[in-house]
């Protein structure tokens, strides 16, 4: 075979893989958009029911056609503290089962014999879906069009990969090289490495099926490549987990450990069976016997069998798996590191699952609000007592607030460019304003600390009456904060109304603070320099309340 034919085959293979990956992404993003709210409701109901978790993981992954997306979704919920490690493990088990549906679809599509190929029939759905996406007026219809187009493109990519494999099958050099790979462990490592590179076990398994049908590899080689792909598929969860919290890291480690244990068990069992029967009993022989004359079905069914059996083995050992990852990544108090503010909930890997990214943005904003309120409380304490023992912690918090505003905004820009439903789009738009409001609260708290520092320089302090008023306004702001965050998290307009009533009380109090302080100035019981700082403080506390109210008011945009 000449160089041009070889280059054509290689380029066709690369193009086929590219089309297949794009198809998976199209299906995943559109299905996530349609199914994500249902999945979140299912997660909240599952609690620690392991069998239900397996079912949710299997059905959810089969629905959104991405075990990586499902795993990142799970990591997001664990990181947010609304899902236990036990339930996360069960859902990951189910995701491994659900991801095998892609191989089954591919195997089914390659049937047809001398009749019209099912691959061609399914590929035609690309055009149907494209027309729906382009010309439909309803957003839901366009999403279903995207799903159909993605489904059809799976088979367009598959047809291109199959065509390239047929070309490779005519090359004696390629056949000789692949036939020479007899080391089954090496095949597992090749499958893991290639899957880690393309970040899709579905694509790797589909390529293996195409190679098997073209005669480039035998079934035994395909089986071990497929087992390796299960380990390589963990790269997505590892990347997502390593840049998140402790329990997210544990979840990623559980995913890797589960898949490694499954591969080790099956590889060990395969060697023992081969040794015990003198090579007469192998996985390839068993599946060839059960599904004769259908190599694509043989490999697809092994893929399903492998994952189902691994889940059956591991399900009773879930508590031990959870204990193992907790020992491997033990609880540690987070060190105080002034030089390293960080995002606590979001990272770019969350963008693979936009609906969970939106949820994690909300958690990040709630955390930012907590930091801002902590600084308000600290500022009120310092200005009353002139005790600056916690000033370094205060400054670190202010630095972190600035960091969070900047980096949450960057994340929101990326998120706003993805496909979101109308409600999530409205939330993201409002979130831009919210992070700015929270940073401004931090700025006003910083102003109050500066007043305290000036009082210390002057060698003076506020009167006892003024200090009592500061305590009173601080208490009202804390009440306002609690109600605002409850309204924000639960999207509760009734709670927002209660918060607005507190804000009116703060307005009245700050007005009274200014009036009473002017009286004290006129009576000579307060010095002018101190009085100026106090009037500024009253104004700043009122603005803090206004910005907290702004945070709550955004729920009107997406409620």
β strands within 373-521, DSSP E: none
Are 12 and 163 contacting, i.e. CB atoms less than 8 angstroms apart? yes
Q: What is the mean pLDDT of the chain?
A: 82
Q: Where are the alpha helices (DSSP H) in 243-290?
A: 246-277, 283-290
Does the structure show a pLDDT above 60 at 474? yes
Report the alpha-carbon distance of residue 158 to residue 176 in Å, rounded.
24
What is the rounded CA–CA span in Å between residue 318 and residue 90? 8
With bands split at pLDDT 50, 70 and 90, how would you rate the model's confidence at 257? Answer: very high
Max avg pLDDT among 314-318, 339-343, 375-379, 422-426:
375-379
Residue 473 has pLDDT above 70, yes or no: yes
Query: What is the C-alpha separation between 8 and 10, in angstroms, rounded?
Result: 5
Q: For the ranges 297-311, 435-449, 485-499, 509-523, which has the lowest average pLDDT?
A: 509-523
pLDDT tens profile 405-458: 999 999 999 999 887 878 888 899 999 999 999 999 999 999 999 999 988 888
pLDDT of residue 370: 95
| Burial of 377: CB neighbours in 10 Å, binned 0-12, 13-18, 19+ | middle
Distance of CA 421 to the CA centre of its chain: 17
CA 486 distance to own-chain centroid: 24
Percentages helix, strand, coil for the chain (3-state, rounded to 5) are: 85, 0, 15
- Would you state the pLDDT for residue 281? 78
More confident residue, 77 or 412: 412
Q: What pLDDT, on a 0 to 100 scale, did the predictor assign at position 528?
A: 62
Residue ranges and CATH numbers for the domains of the chain are 3-328 (no CATH), 348-558 (1.20.58.220)
Name which of 7, 29, 5, 9 is nearest 17 in CA terms.
9
**Entry pTM:** 0.62
Residue 165 has pLDDT above 70, yes or no: no
Could you say which DSSP state residue 280 is in? S
| C-alpha to C-alpha distance for 430 and 440, rounded to whole angstroms | 16
- Taking alpha carbons only, the member of 273, 275, 195, 182 closest to residue 230 is 195
Instruction: Give the three-class secondary structure for 457.
Output: helix
Give the C-alpha separation, 26 to 31, whole Å: 8
The SS3 of residue 94 is helix
How far are the Cα atoms of 373, 443, 447, 477, 505 from residue 480, in angstroms, in the given order?
Answer: 10, 18, 20, 5, 10
Tell me the two tokens of residue 357: 């990214």
Residue 401 token pair: 């607030």
* CB neighbour list of residue 67: distance below 8 Å, 6 or more residues apart: 61, 95, 96, 98, 99, 201, 202, 233
Inter-residue contact 147 to 27 (CB < 8 Å): yes
Which residue bears the tokens 């079934």? 219
The closest of 366, 342, 359, 416 to 76, measured between CA atoms, is: 359
Q: What would the pLDDT profile of 21-72 be if each residue is shown by its tens digit?
A: 677 667 656 666 665 555 555 655 555 577 888 887 888 777 666 676 677 7
Distance CA 438, CA 368 (A): 7
Distances (CA, A) of 85 to 56, 184, 304, 312, 317: 15, 33, 24, 18, 13
For residue 354, give Cα distances in angstroms to 59, 63, 178, 395. Answer: 19, 16, 40, 33
CA distance 261 to 274: 20
Nearest CA-CA partner of 365 in 420, 414, 422, 407: 407
Pull the structure tokens for residue 275. 């040794």
Residues 6+ apart with CB under 8 A from 244: 75, 79, 345, 347
Q: Residue 134 has what pLDDT?
A: 81
Structure token pair of residue 251: 């979840």
Range from 124-128, 209-213, 247-251, 514-518 carrying the lowest mean pLDDT: 514-518
For residues 300-328, average pLDDT: 91
Tell me if residue 479 falls in helix, strand or coil. helix
Distance between CA atoms of 479 and 482, rounded to whole angstroms?
5
Instruction: Please write the tens of the pLDDT for every residue from 87-124.
Output: 889 989 998 898 888 778 777 766 655 444 556 766 78
pLDDT above 80: residue 499:
yes
Render pLDDT for 396-406 as a digit per residue (tens, 0 to 9). 999 999 999 99
In contact, 78 and 248? CB cutoff 8 Å: yes
Distance CA 133, CA 340 (A): 45
What are 184-220's pLDDT values in tens digits? 889 899 888 888 877 677 778 888 888 888 788 889 8
Q: Which residue has the tokens 């059960």?
A: 290
Stretch 324-328: mean pLDDT, rounded?
A: 90
Q: Where are the alpha helices (DSSP H) in 99-171?
A: 100-109, 118-123, 125-135, 139-169
Tell me the DSSP string of 358-404. Answer: HHHHHHHHHHHHHHHHHHHHHHHHHHHH---TTHHHHHHHHHHHHHH
The vertex-110 CA angle with 106 and 111, nearest 5°, equals: 125
pLDDT score, position 334: 46
Element (DSSP H or E) covering residue 357: helix 354-385
Listing DSSP states for 216-255 in one string gives SS-HHHHHHHHHHHHHHTTHHHHHHHHTS-HHHHHHHHHH
Which of the four pLDDT bands, split at 50, 70 and 90, describes residue 378? very high
Return d(Cα 493, Cα 502) in angstroms, integer. 14
Lowest mean pLDDT among 35-44, 304-313, 467-476, 522-531: 35-44
* % of the chain beyond a pLDDT of 70: 80
Q: Is the pLDDT of residue 525 over 70?
A: no
How much of the chain, in percent, has pLDDT values that exceed 90? 32
């Amino acid at each position: 075979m000449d160089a041009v034919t070889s280059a054509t085959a290689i380029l066709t293979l690369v193009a086929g893989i590219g089309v297949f990956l794009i198809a998976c992404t199209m299906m995943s993003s559109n299905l996530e958009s349609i199914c994500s709210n249902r999945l979140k409701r299912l997660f909240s109901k599952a609690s620690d029911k392991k069998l239900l978790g397996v079912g949710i993981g299997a059905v959810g992954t089969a629905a959104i056609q991405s075990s990586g997306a499902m795993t990142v979704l799970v990591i997001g919920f664990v990181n947010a503290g609304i899902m236990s490690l036990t339930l996360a493990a069960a859902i990951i088990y189910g995701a491994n089962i659900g991801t095998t549906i892609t191989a089954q679809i591919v195997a089914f599509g390659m049937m047809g014999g001398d009749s019209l190929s099912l691959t061609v029939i399914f590929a035609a759905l690309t055009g149907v879906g494209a027309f729906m996406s382009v010309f439909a007026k309803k957003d839901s219809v366009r999403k279903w069009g995207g799903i159909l187009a993605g489904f059809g493109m799976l088979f367009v990519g598959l047809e291109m990969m199959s065509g390239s494999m047929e070309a490779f099958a005519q090359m004696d050099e390629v056949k000789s090289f692949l036939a020479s790979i007899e080391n089954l462990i090496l095949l597992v490592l090749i499958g893991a490495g290639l899957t880690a590179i393309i970040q899709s076990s579905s694509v790797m398994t589909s390529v293996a099926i195409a190679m098997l049908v073209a005669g480039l590899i035998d079934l035994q080689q395909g089986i071990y490549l497929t087992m390796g792909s299960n380990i390589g598929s963990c790269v997505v969860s590892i990347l997502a987990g390593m840049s998140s919290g402790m329990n997210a890291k544990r979840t990623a480690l559980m995913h890797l450990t589960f898949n490694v244990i499954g591969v080790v068990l099956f590889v060990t069992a395969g060697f023992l069976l081969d040794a015990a029967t003198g090579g007469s009993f192998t996985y390839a022989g068993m599946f060839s016997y059960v599904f004769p004359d259908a190599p694509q079905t043989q490999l697809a069914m092994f893929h399903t069998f492998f994952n189902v059996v691994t889940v059956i083995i591991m399900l009773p050992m879930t508590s031990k798996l959870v204990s193992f990852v907790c020992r491997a990544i033990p609880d540690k108090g987070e060190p105080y590191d002034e030089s390293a503010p960080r995002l606590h909930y979001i990272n770019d890997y969350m963008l693979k699952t936009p609906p969970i990214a939106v949820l994690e943005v909300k958690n990040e904003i709630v955390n930012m609000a907590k930091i801002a309120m902590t600084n308000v409380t600290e500022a009120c304490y310092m200005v009353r007592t002139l005790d600056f023992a916690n000033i370094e912690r205060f400054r670190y918090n202010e630095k972190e607030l600035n960091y969070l505003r900047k980096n949450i905004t960057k994340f929101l820009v990326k998120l706003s460019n993805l496909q979101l439903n109308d409600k999530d789009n409205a939330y993201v738009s409002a979130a831009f304003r919210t992070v700015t409001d929270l940073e401004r609260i931090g700025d006003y708290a910083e102003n109050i600390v500066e007043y305290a520092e000036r009082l210390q320089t002057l060698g003076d302090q506020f009167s006892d009456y003024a200090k009592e008023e500061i305590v009173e306004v601080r208490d009202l702001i804390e009440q306002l904060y609690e109600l605002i965050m409850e309204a924000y998290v639960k999207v509760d307009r009734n709670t927002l109304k209660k918060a607005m009533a507190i804000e009116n009380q703060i307005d009245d109090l700050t007005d009274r603070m200014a009036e009473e302080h002017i009286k004290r100035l006129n009576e000579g019981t307060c010095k002018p320099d101190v009085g100026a700082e106090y009037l500024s403080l009253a104004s700043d506390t009122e603005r803090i309340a206004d910005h907290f109210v702004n945070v709550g008011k955004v729920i009107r945009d997406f409620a």
